[in-house]
């Protein structure tokens, strides 16, 4: 009973941003809370991965600044597939500057994130104002980072509490990344997911989807290497989708 959670349907009533509601709708329709992190440096590899896993995911997370051959034809094509296959595009930009600079980084430069991304990530280290006045399109949401998955992070309980408060007060924020339960009015995203690994030697920490849902009260699992480096990403993505969905159902 201790681990009980509210359903996605109930959660949808508490989330006011349209992109948060849309993400939940996709999750319910496709029965998947899996977001795949396509940390690949070439567009062909990303598109190949998407062709294999598109049906299994509710979101595709990108780091567009690592792509060697980034282009608008790539992003337009990806956007088209995301609409056809029904998943959202998340740019894990981790904005972390003052509002003016965050705003410039969102709208300008080579990647023009706000012209295609459904969701972008942001730290709130620079304070609540840093994620205000970003001129986000009405159908684009923010995910704040309150506590990362890495070990040895500098986030203490006080920082995390304040980051969660800032997140709750900003209507553009649909949810957050944290390694603990958060208020039901925020969607909780959990990177650092792996079936077997606990730690990698590069500082990331991993938990099983069951732990993400039971202990942390996660809503969405984010899986990178475990899927895109596997021998059969299609089958592996289905395994993570299934594990994430069962883990959700088990805590209902």
Residues near ligand 5BU (CB under 6 A) are 37, 39, 63, 92, 145, 148-149, 177, 191-192, 204, 222-226
Establish whether 39 is a catalytic residue.
no
Spot the catalytic one: 39, 55, 97, 184: 97
Integer Cα distance of 209 and 207 in angstroms: 7
Instruction: Rank residues 134 and 188 by Cβ distance to ligand 5BU and give the closer one.
Output: 188
Least distance between ligand 5BU and beta carbon 37 (Å): 4
Least distance between ligand 5BU and beta carbon 9 (Å): 27
Q: 164 near 146, Cβ under 8 Å?
A: yes
Q: 90 near 82, Cβ under 8 Å?
A: no
Closest alpha carbon to 43 in 63, 61, 69, 17 = 69
Establish whether 92 is a catalytic residue.
yes
Spot the catalytic one: 94, 112, 162, 234: 94
Instruction: Rank residues 84 and 231 by Cβ distance to ligand 5BU and give the closer one.
Output: 231
Residue nearest to ligand 5BU (CB): 224
Instruction: List the structure tokens of 4.
Output: 């009980």
Spot the catalytic one: 22, 30, 92, 219: 92
Least distance between ligand 5BU and beta carbon 228 (Å): 8
Least distance between ligand 5BU and beta carbon 16 (Å): 23
Integer Cα distance of 57 and 129 in angstroms: 33
Least distance between ligand 5BU and beta carbon 79 (Å): 20
Helices marked H in the chain:
8-14, 18-30, 43-53, 72-84, 99-107, 157-169, 209-214, 225-228, 233-250
Establish whether 97 is a catalytic residue.
yes
Instruction: Count CA within 13 A, CB hemisphere, residue 6.
Output: 17
Instruction: Rank residues 12 and 78 by Cβ distance to ligand 5BU and give the closer one.
Output: 78
Instruction: List the structure tokens of 186.
Output: 């925020």
Instruction: Rank residues 199 and 246 by Cβ distance to ligand 5BU and give the closer one.
Output: 199
Exposure b/e, 69-98, CB count within 10 A at least 16 = b: ebeeebbeebbebbeebbbbbbbbbebbee
Instruction: Rank residues 75 and 145 by Cβ distance to ligand 5BU and give the closer one.
Output: 145
> Catalytic residues, which ones?
92, 94, 97
């Amino acid at each position: 009973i201790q681990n009980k959670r509210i359903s996605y349907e109930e959660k949808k009533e508490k989330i006011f941003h349209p992109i948060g509601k849309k993400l939940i709708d996709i999750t319910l329709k496709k029965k998947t809370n899996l977001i795949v992190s396509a940390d690949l440096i070439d567009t062909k590899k990303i598109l190949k991965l998407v062709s294999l896993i598109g049906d299994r995911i509710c979101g595709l997370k990108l780091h567009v600044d690592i792509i060697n051959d980034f282009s608008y034809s790539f992003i337009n094509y990806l956007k088209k597939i995301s609409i056809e296959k029904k998943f959202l595009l998340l740019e894990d930009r981790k904005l972390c500057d003052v509002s003016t600079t965050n705003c410039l980084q969102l709208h300008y430069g080579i990647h023009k994130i706000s012209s295609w991304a459904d969701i972008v990530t942001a730290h709130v280290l620079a304070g609540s104002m840093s994620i205000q006045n970003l001129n986000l399109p009405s159908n684009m949401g923010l995910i704040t980072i309150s506590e990362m998955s890495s070990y040895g992070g500098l986030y203490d309980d006080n920082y995390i509490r304040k980051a969660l408060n800032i997140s709750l007060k900003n209507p553009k924020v649909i949810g957050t990344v944290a390694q603990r339960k958060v208020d039901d009015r925020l969607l909780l995203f959990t990177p650092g997911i792996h079936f077997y690994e606990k730690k990698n030697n590069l500082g990331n920490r991993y938990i099983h989807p069951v732990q993400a849902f039971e202990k942390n009260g996660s809503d969405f699992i984010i899986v990178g290497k475990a899927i895109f480096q596997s021998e059969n990403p299609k089958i592996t993505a289905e395994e993570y989708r299934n594990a994430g969905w069962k883990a959700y159902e088990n805590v209902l």
